[in-house]
Structure 1
């Protein structure tokens, strides 16, 4: 996984908010609308893999066009998720950490 120094969740949320504000999109960025948009973008990511065999899906990033589409859809999913979290005041990293903690208890190593 590539790391990008200087990038953080709060900074990305700020950039997304500034982008939306500059275009007057804030009235449309309700929790409901963002949840719907997140679902649509996740479906677009799924669509890339819809008819691929397991072997083809494992090699999807070797195809430049498909790799570009995957990266774009991942970015869209993450953008809407971060905006959704911003609107509702959810700390995404804390929520994930808490969920992992609960899953470690629910599904202990045998």
Structure 2
């Protein structure tokens, strides 16, 4: 994909910092304010799906305008999350990789493959509290 900019969390962090600095908005970017803005954007993202019921992977029944709007709202969520992590001094990429490792240990393939059951494991790996539901709570999946 020649000509396409490579986007990393670090490049987004820097662009967001520059964007805020150029507009003198740093004074408003407290962790609390950024979190509340993020929650508002998640609400806007949720509205897109609110009355659609289940939608197919890839959104084949959606028009280009709907997909573009979805992309804008997803981007708002991502950008506020990146900015919030920066203002909190958290390396988001590093934290995400660590969380994936923790989830891999918490939800081992041999116990969780093809199952939507919530499982809580003790240190020995024994299942303590199975509950039905969607993706495991806190899994980020």
TM-score by length of 1: 0.87
Q: Distance in 2 between matches of 1:10 and 1:23?
A: 20
2:19 equivalent to 1:19: yes
Per the TM alignment, residue 11 of structure 1 is displaced from its structure 2 partner at its CA by 1.8
- Unaligned regions of 5+ residues in structure 1, if any? none
TM-score by length of 2: 0.69
Partner of 1:50: 50
Aligned CA distance change for structure 1 residues 26 and 60 (closer, same or farther; 3 Å): farther
Larger radius of gyration: 2
Q: Distance in 2 between matches of 1:61 and 1:41?
A: 24
- Unaligned regions of 5+ residues in structure 2, if any? 111-141
Partner of 2:65: 65
Q: Superposition pairs for residues 67-106 of structure 1, below 5 Å?
A: 67-106=67-106
Superposed CA deviations along residues 43-82 of structure 1, whole A, max 9, x for unmatched, are 111110000021xx22267311210110000110011001
Partner of 1:38: 38
